[in-house]
């Protein structure tokens, strides 16, 4: 099969030939309709985010497509089913293996290609703003990077849950798209300070900046506020004003989807099951949509990476083998 390989010296992406993988116990093989580009792929390409032990070294954390072979001990999936799936790696290829417990049906109203835009964002956003932070109707959710794949999903899920949603963005183009998706408060982080505008008001913050925003995020938290850090684009080491946090009876946590175990407590299987139960109905009724900025052939993976890194991309970039 054709897949995308990374040249370790130049970090160039190129088409390579690999044997079609065989599913093991509990796995299915998916004939890939599309995979989606994640920021993690750009980091893995640069050698900064190695795949977890046992995962495919091929890039790609999610795919959509048709079940092509079912491995031993799989219940509830059959050859020909259209699915999308959360992977630990291996999505940039014509065929990918997925644990059956990490597969979701293609939601009603979403094409099989565009379904590749959903598993990583819905699992990350739901597990953080709902399971981890317990966002409730009437609360205020601040989403940093509202135009990102994660951000565009978080805006929609936050609104569907009855929250007021604030976002930070870096351009008027992204600001406009965030408003169209339902964001109530849009802050351009180049010109405005979110901590001044939202001081003491955010019940939940979904943060992708890490150290750079830590102290301002704490200022922004409302009493009993919950700051969930999922990205470290602004650095890994920051100073936390514990006094300010204590005064607000606030909470800071950090989570990582890829490193979760496949099964058991806090596993990917648990996250996927919660998404199927609570997010998929919202997708089926149109309250939450797949936000896709481009669909490119698999061979154009390098262009897709450049696009994700550019200010023009809002939501997800897909690759179709
Ligand atoms: N922990 C987990 O399990 C997990 C899972 C998935 C993703 N993530 C993380 O979530 C983040 C988003 O992932 P993605 O794949 O959706 O990435 P993406 O689409 O590439 O988005 C990255 C975003 O960062 C924004 N950004 C850059 N500087 C910013 C700043 N100073 N303030 C606010 N926003 C800023 C950019 O927006 P502008 O162009 O507007 O600046 C861009 O939209 C990444 O950090 C990724 O590592 C974590």
pLDDT above 70 as % of the chain: 100
Lowest-confidence range among 47-56, 79-88, 132-141? 47-56
Give the integer Cα–Cα distance in Å for 320 and 299: 9
**What's the 147 CA to ligand 1 centre distance in angstroms?**
8
| pLDDT of amino acid 252 | 98
pLDDT per residue as tens digits for the range 187-235: 999 999 999 999 999 999 999 999 999 999 999 999 999 999 999 999 9
Q: What is the pLDDT of residue 224?
A: 98
What is the reported pLDDT for 24?
97
Residue 94 C-alpha to ligand 1 middle, in angstroms? Answer: 27
- What whole-number distance in Å separates Cα of residue 131 and Cα of residue 150? 16
Handedness of CA 272, 162, 135, 40 (dihedral sign): positive
pLDDT digits (tens, 9 = 90+) for 272-318: 999 999 999 999 999 999 999 999 999 999 999 999 989 889 999 99
**Count of CA atoms in the C-beta half-sphere (13 A) of 74:** 23
Q: What is the mean pLDDT of residues 146-171?
A: 98
Query: Vertex 253, ends 247 and 257: CA angle to 5°?
Result: 165
DSSP states of 73-141: T--S--TT-EEEEE-SS--SBSEEEEEGGGEEEPPTTS-TTGGGGSHHHHHHHIIIIIIIT---TT-EE
Q: What is the mean pLDDT of the chain?
A: 97
Please give the distance, rounded to the nearest whole angstrom, from the Cα atom of residue 96 to the centre of ligand 1: 25
Ligand 1 pocket: which of 41, 133, 150 to mutate (most atoms <8 Å of CB)? Answer: 150
Angle, helices 149-160 vs 172-180, to 10°: value is: 30
207 strand-pairing partners = 229
How confident is the model over 259-274, as pLDDT tens digits?
A: 999 999 999 999 999 9
Mean pLDDT of all residues in 162-168 = 99
* Separation between Cα atoms, residue 148 and residue 138, nearest integer Å: 24
Mean pLDDT of 144-154: 98
pLDDT band at 67 (very low <50, low <70, confident <90, very high): very high
Instruction: Tell me what the mean pLDDT of segment 105-132 comes to.
Output: 98
What gap in Å lies between CA 183 and CA 22, rounded to an integer? 44
> Does residue 220 line the site of ligand 1, with CB under 6 A?
no
- The DSSP annotation for 225-292 comes to EEEEE---TT-S-----HHHHHHTT-EEEE--STTS-SSSTT-HHHHHHHHHHHTHHHHHTTSS---E
308 lines ligand 1 (CB under 6 A): yes
- Å from CA of 150 to ligand 1 middle: 7
Bridging pattern class, strands 164-169 and 140-144: parallel
For 24-57, the pLDDT digits (tens) are 999 999 999 999 999 999 999 999 999 988 899 9
Contact, 313 vs 152, CB < 8 A?
A: no
Q: What's the residue count for the chain? A: 321
Query: What's the confidence (pLDDT) of residue 102?
Result: 98
CA–CA separation, 157 and 151 (whole Å): 10
Residue closest via CA to ligand 1's atom 21 equals 148
pLDDT digit string, tens, across residues 91-102: 999 999 999 999
Q: How many Cα atoms are found within 13 Å in the side-chain-facing hemisphere of 285?
A: 8
Which phi and psi (to 5°) does residue 211 adopt? -55, -45
Quote the CA–CA distance of 132 and 263 in Å, as a whole number: 18
| Count of Cβ atoms closer than 10 Å to residue 256 Cβ | 11
Q: Calculate the alpha carbon distances from 234 to 104, 148, 210 in Å.
A: 33, 15, 5
The whole-number pLDDT of residue 42 equals 97
Give nearest CA residue, ligand 1 atom 27: 145
pLDDT band with cut points at 50, 70 and 90 for residue 254: very high
pLDDT at 31: 98
pLDDT number for residue 268: 98
Q: How far is the CA of 208 from the centre of ligand 1 (A)?
A: 6
Q: Report residue 87's pLDDT band, with 50, 70 and 90 as the boundaries.
A: very high
* Phi, psi dihedrals of residue 295, rounded to the nearest 5°: -125, 115
């Amino acid at each position: 099969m054709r897949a995308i390989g990374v040249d370790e010296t130049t970090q160039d992406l190129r088409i390579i030939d690999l044997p079609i993988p065989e599913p093991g116990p509990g796995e299915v093989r998916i004939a890939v309709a599309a995979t989606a580009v994640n920021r993690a792929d750009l980091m893995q390409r640069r050698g900064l985010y190695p795949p977890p032990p046992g995962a495919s070294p091929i890039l790609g954390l999610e795919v959509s497509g048709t079940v092509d072979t079912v491995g031993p001990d799989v219940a509830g999936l059959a050859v020909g089913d259209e699915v999308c799936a959360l992977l630990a790696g291996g999505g940039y290829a014509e065929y990918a293996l997925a644990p059956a417990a990490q597969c979701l049906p293609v939601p009603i109203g979403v094409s099989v290609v565009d379904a590749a835009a959903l598993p990583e964002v819905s699992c990350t956003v739901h597990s953080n703003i709902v399971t981890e932070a317990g966002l409730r109707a009437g609360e205020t959710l601040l989403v940093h990077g509202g135009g990102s794949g994660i951000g565009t999903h978080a805006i929609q899920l936050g609104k569907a849950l009855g929250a007021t949603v604030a976002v930070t963005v870096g351009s008027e183009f992204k600001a406009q798209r965030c408003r169209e998706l339902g964001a109530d408060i849009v802050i351009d982080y180049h010109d405005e300070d979110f901590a001044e505008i939202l001081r003491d008001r955010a019940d939940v913050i979904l943060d992708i900046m890490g150290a750079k925003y830590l102290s301002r995020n704490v200022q922004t938290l409302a009493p009993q506020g919950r700051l969930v850090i999922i990205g470290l684009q602004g650095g890994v080491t920051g100073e936390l004003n514990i006094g300010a946090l204590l005064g607000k009876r606030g909470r800071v946590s950090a989570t990582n989807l890829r490193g979760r175990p496949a099964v058991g407590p806090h596993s990917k299987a648990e996250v996927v099951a919660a998404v199927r139960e609570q997010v998929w109905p919202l997708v089926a009724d149109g309250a939450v949509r797949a936000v896709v900025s481009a669909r490119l052939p698999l061979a154009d993976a390098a262009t897709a990476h450049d696009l994700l890194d550019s200010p023009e991309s809002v939501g997800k970039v897909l690759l179709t083998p």
